[in-house]
Structure 1
Amino acid sequence: MAQVEHAVDADLSTTLSSLDGIVDWTMAFLPKFAIGGVVFLLFWGIGWAVRMGILRASARHPARNVGLVLGRLSQWGLRFLGLLVAVTIMFPSVKPVDLLGLLGIGSVAIGFAFKDILQNFLAGILILLRQPFRIGDQIVFKSFEGTVEGIETRTTVIKTYDGRRVFVPNGEIFTNAVTVNTAYGIRRSEHDVGVGYGDDVRRAAGVILDALRGVDGVRDDPPPEALAVELAGSTVNIRARWWTDARQHEVLRVRHDVIAAIKDQLGQAGIDLPFPTRVVLFHDQTEETDGDRRRQREGWPAGDDPPQPRTIAGVLKKTGPDGQEEEPARSIRPGGTPVGHTD
């Protein structure tokens, strides 16, 4: 019995000793943890301040995107440095060299796990540095067209013309073709106008050119043009080309005014804007086999006794006074039996 009590007392003393050790370690660690947390927050705030300072310094600079890149890289670099300093304060036995080695080993696994994120991040940095387009430019990417609202390190934000917001991964933008409509500040538009074959093409082109010059928003330099481009089935097509401000709203507004002005000017000049014309040929007016349904090729019933052909003239003659078509006369087989009659 005495041995059991002695064992219990030994276990209890060991447990209490362990608890005392944990409490002592915790009390010794708490100041280090607090100091490390304060240091990390300090570096976090310094990183934010550095980023804001760089952004303000480059806000009105042509290389604004470079400021965005430097600001973000500086912020994340200071945060990472603050994390290393905080860890070494909390755990004095851990050296920064050991942490860097551990991060080097873990970076391979992180790279595989976050491949797309890292790809978009690097593509975003390259886009900000190369500046293929800027914030406020109007671009076309695949089926999306609109104004660039922001260029982030992972995505590019586009506001479409119909008021929707699109987030496009930078990796896709960097590896695919992008059309920048506002890259040069001006943009050319064109529209084909068909005039009649009986009209003077040169005179019609001159009228169209005068109409272009009178529209507000059409630039004088480069000058507008009116060029004959096609002899179509019913019209001679003249292509009107003009330059405007590159913004989408201005392009559409000027196009409306241009089309209205061209129509009015051509009408006042007496130049025809013909409708499409079609010519329809009937089978019995094209070749000698038409009308003979034993020989023709257009898919009429074949055989020795096909239906009799009908001509336009014959149909017109058989139209009654009330405008209704009378029953056509039936053809008679040899022997007096009408075609279509069944016994």
Structure 2
Amino acid sequence: MNYIQTLQAQLHSMATGFVAALPGVVIALAILLVTWIVARFASRIADLLIGRTDIRLSLRDLFTTLVRVAIWLIGIMLASVVVMPGLTPASLLAGLGIGAVAIGFAFQDIFENFFAGVLIMVREKMRIGDIIECEGIKGRVEHITLRETHVRSLSNELTIVPNSMLFKNPVRILTDDDLRRHEVIVGVSYDTNLDRAAEVIRRAVEKAEGVEATRGVDVFAQEFASSSIDMLVRWWAGSTPKAGWESRDRVVRAIKRALDEADIEIPFPYITHTFKEGVKLPRCDG
């Protein structure tokens, strides 16, 4: 009988405490409801104000999210103090600090990618649509979030790259400018007048479609190859991969046509370089 009386006393005490705390719970729920309404309106106002600037969309979403999170933190703190009167804002902040440290160690990679994403958005050097290359990954930037960046390869595969990788490693932005320098190697025979050949090549490249002739065309005699003198040809054209391939195609065709018209030979490599493995060369006796 003593156990039953003890249990009854405990249940009565719990019921009495719940009834006593009920007004505080109702007030806390009201505070959370007001917090939800204020957070919605505040995020809309922040979005309208930031929308008038030139800040990129993902960074705008970051600011509105931070405003919403800050309001919810304040609302939850107020509701907790109302429900638990013994809980002071100082003790609550201390508990949040210890919890933040523990969470930070547990989710170190996530926070690293988050802050890297914020810094990538702030520096605004890598834009949506840019062609980038980083650690063997090459493609078009489709989307930048706070944790990862979506890169679509030139063969249409999607690669999800952690932001910390793009922030800590060198990133080549191939489309940072509208124009980029392209180059090709042209070999001419050893009996060719190199000055004349360089002039023929230069004029052919300048007349090719898509070449920015005002930026200049460079033709340099580069090295003595096995069967030719190799010349490095450089020119300016569009920076996108498609523009580069199209420009290279037109330039190679124009150079071949101009050299043929000028009777300048483009020699074949020595025969020893053209035979595949397993093909025997004829014997030469004597």
Query: Fold conserved (TM > 0.5)?
Result: yes
With over 3 angstroms needed to count, the CA separation of the structure-2 counterparts of 1:109 and 1:122, relative to structure 1, is same
With over 3 angstroms needed to count, the CA separation of the structure-2 counterparts of 1:274 and 1:88, relative to structure 1, is same
Deviations 1:54-111 (A, max 9, x none): 4555457444365354333323322322322332233333222211011122232222
Deviations 1:87-140 (A, max 9, x none): 223333322221101112223222221222222222222222223312222211
Find the counterpart in structure 2 of residue 40 from structure 1: 32
Deviations 1:274-309 (A, max 9, x none): 1112689xxxxxxxxxxxxxxxxxxxxxxxxxxxxx
Find the counterpart in structure 2 of residue 254 from structure 1: 247
Q: Where do 1:1-343 residues align within 5 Å? A: 8=1, 11-26=3-18, 29=21, 32-33=24-25, 35-37=27-29, 39-40=31-32, 42-44=34-36, 46-47=38-39, 50-51=42-43, 53-55=45-47, 57-58=49-50, 61-64=53-56, 67-277=60-270, 312-313=285-286
With over 3 angstroms needed to count, the CA separation of the structure-2 counterparts of 1:276 and 1:157, relative to structure 1, is same
User: Is this contact kept in 2: 1:208–1:265, CA < 8 A?
Assistant: yes
Q: Which letter does structure 2 place at the counterpart of 1:312?
A: D
Greater helix proportion:
2
TM-score (norm 2): 0.83
Q: Distance in 1 between matches of 2:5 and 2:95?
A: 39
Deviation of 1:39 (Å): 3.8
Structure 2 gaps of 5+ residues are: 274-282
With over 3 angstroms needed to count, the CA separation of the structure-2 counterparts of 1:101 and 1:211, relative to structure 1, is same
Structure 1 gaps of 5+ residues are: 1-7, 281-309, 314-343
User: Is this contact kept in 2: 1:234–1:276, CA < 8 A?
Assistant: yes
Deviations 1:247-276 (A, max 9, x none): 222112221222222222222322111111
Q: Distance in 2 between matches of 1:134 and 1:59?
A: 18
Q: Distance in 1 between matches of 2:141 and 2:41?
A: 26
Higher relative CO (Cα under 8 Å, sequence separation at least 6) belongs to: 2
Q: Distance in 1 between matches of 2:31 and 2:232?
A: 70
Deviations 1:138-164 (A, max 9, x none): 211111011222222222221221112
Q: Which letter does structure 2 place at the counterpart of 1:168?
A: V
With over 3 angstroms needed to count, the CA separation of the structure-2 counterparts of 1:153 and 1:236, relative to structure 1, is same
| Structure number, greater radius of gyration | 1
Q: Distance in 1 between matches of 2:99 and 2:89?
A: 15
Deviations 1:171-193 (A, max 9, x none): 22221111111222221110011
Aligned length: 276
User: Is this contact kept in 2: 1:149–1:159, CA < 8 A?
Assistant: yes
Query: RMSD of aligned C-alpha atoms?
Result: 2.9
| Secondary structure at 1:99 match in 2 | helix
Identity %: 32
| Secondary structure at 2:185 match in 1 | strand
User: Is this contact kept in 2: 1:68–1:128, CA < 8 A?
Assistant: no
Q: Distance in 2 between matches of 1:100 and 1:153?
A: 26
Moved more, 37-46 or 150-159: 37-46
| Secondary structure at 1:97 match in 2 | helix
Q: Distance in 1 between matches of 2:120 and 2:108?
A: 18
With over 3 angstroms needed to count, the CA separation of the structure-2 counterparts of 1:17 and 1:163, relative to structure 1, is same
User: Is this contact kept in 2: 1:69–1:129, CA < 8 A?
Assistant: no
| Secondary structure at 1:312 match in 2 | coil
